[in-house]
A = this chain, B = another copy of it.
Amino acid sequence: MKIEAVDFFYVSMPEVTTDADGSQDALVVRVAAGGLTGWGECEASPLVSIAAFICPMSHGACRPVAASVLGQTVEQPADIARIAATIAYNSMDLLQAPHTWSGIEMALWDLLGKARGEPVWRLLGYPRAFNKTPYASQLFGNSPAETLAGGRSARAAGFRAVKFGWGPFGTGTLEADIEQLDAAREGLGPDGILLVDAGQIFGADLEAAAKRLPALERNRATWLEEPFAAGALSAYAGLGKRTKAFKTAGGEAAHNSDMAEHLIDYGQVGFIQIDCGRIGGIGPAKRVADYAVARGVTYVNHTFTSHLALAASLQPYAGLAEHRICEYPVQPRQLAVDLTQNHLVPDKSGELAISEAPGLGITVDEAALARYRVEVEIKVNGRVLFPAGRAG
């Protein structure tokens, strides 16, 4: 099968706010090859990711992503890895390239799975897929009362695990954070699994993060996610040494598998969280899952957008029975709900089954793509580079 077309669909809510909520827009990718189509999603700035696909070449190591993709042959998983390696080399100076490629890579797995009549996780070598325990991923409330209510409603909706993140956490006083953590625990009850996401708020300030340790321990957090900037590896390792009660988590910013491995090796995280829409797709995420297994680190997906992205994010660790917890966006904007015709819904016991359908098992709603569509036109020296094939 030859890759004939790669089409990008930039969709957005009518209004985008400064909430740390990645479901407000999306960049959906459709790949056509051999009479089939595959779908993927970049977790990235849509406009900038489109530009990285079609930009003029700057030199041999700064080529547009399109140059390494269009016309390539895809018959087996090794072909996807081959294209990925070409991009890593020929676009090494194009910083945005991994974000652009991530959605295309997912779509290629979806397409290959459809061609073979197999779910992607089976193409990755897993003989079976295990259910996951979804956690409700939500923002800290603006007040402890809001956080408490958020925890209660997530439990009422059947979630055993809840993650609170961003919002006011780390931006005010220590006391305010303690109140938030106490409210979170109270909201989800004594037996709930509490996960906390600091959203990099402490930069590289180990001592500022360490001040929150007693309240995190007392409220029995399972992990503290992204206390620091993605590259602050020694701060990660330092904080990890200060507590035995829980582990640090991180990795969502990794835009290649090396970065995730550094967080494991040098940052000593206990949970490695991978966004397939950023790391370069499903292939490098599976590499990180293998690496984590070998080092006793737990793999977790990072997903804050549509169920297309969610389905893709489950594939790399679908076959790992012990790596059970999974991020499940519980308050997405309507856009992220509408993007797909089918959804991954937890069962009555709160467990999430991974689809056995070919490819990613998700049907994109093309009418929703049209409804939320953002029109982009990029012209260089009078020539329209995007959308492709339109007269200048």
In the complex, A90 Cα to B314 Cα: how many Å?
28
Residues of B within 8 A of A85 (CB): 203
Shortest CB distance A380–B (Å):
6
In the complex, A253 Cα to B99 Cα: how many Å?
16
Instruction: Tell me if A61 and B92 are in contact (CB < 8 A).
Output: no
- Best-buried of A96, A99, A232, A255 by chain B (most CB within 10 Å): A96
* Chain A interface mostly: loop
Instruction: Tell me if B60 and A56 are in contact (CB < 8 A).
Output: no
Q: Which B-chain residue is minimally distant from A89 (CB atoms)? A: B200
Contact string, A1-26, partner B, CB cutoff 8 A, digits 1/0?
00000000000100011111110110
In the complex, A12 Cα to B233 Cα: how many Å?
39
- Best-buried of A51, A230, A278 by chain B (most CB within 10 Å): A51
Q: Is A231 an interface residue (CB 8 A)?
A: yes
Q: Is A377 an interface residue (CB 8 A)?
A: yes
- Best-buried of A21, A47, A85, A374 by chain B (most CB within 10 Å): A47
Decide: A16 near B229, CB < 8 A? Known: A262-B266, A381-B374. Answer: no
Partner of A20, one of B61, B200, B377: B61
Instruction: Tell me if A379 and B382 are in contact (CB < 8 A).
Output: no
Instruction: Tell me if B48 and A52 are in contact (CB < 8 A).
Output: yes
In the complex, A98 Cα to B61 Cα: how many Å?
18
Q: Is A94 an interface residue (CB 8 A)?
A: yes
Residues of B within 8 A of A16 (CB): 56-59
A to B CB contacts below 8 Å, 14 in the list: A16-B58, A16-B59, A44-B62, A45-B95, A46-B55, A46-B58, A47-B51, A48-B55, A88-B229, A93-B278, A95-B95, A95-B99, A229-B258, A375-B379
- Beyond A45-B52, A234-B265, 14 additional contacts (C-beta under 8 Å) are A12-B56, A18-B59, A20-B60, A22-B62, A44-B95, A45-B94, A48-B51, A48-B55, A60-B166, A89-B200, A95-B278, A229-B258, A375-B382, A377-B378
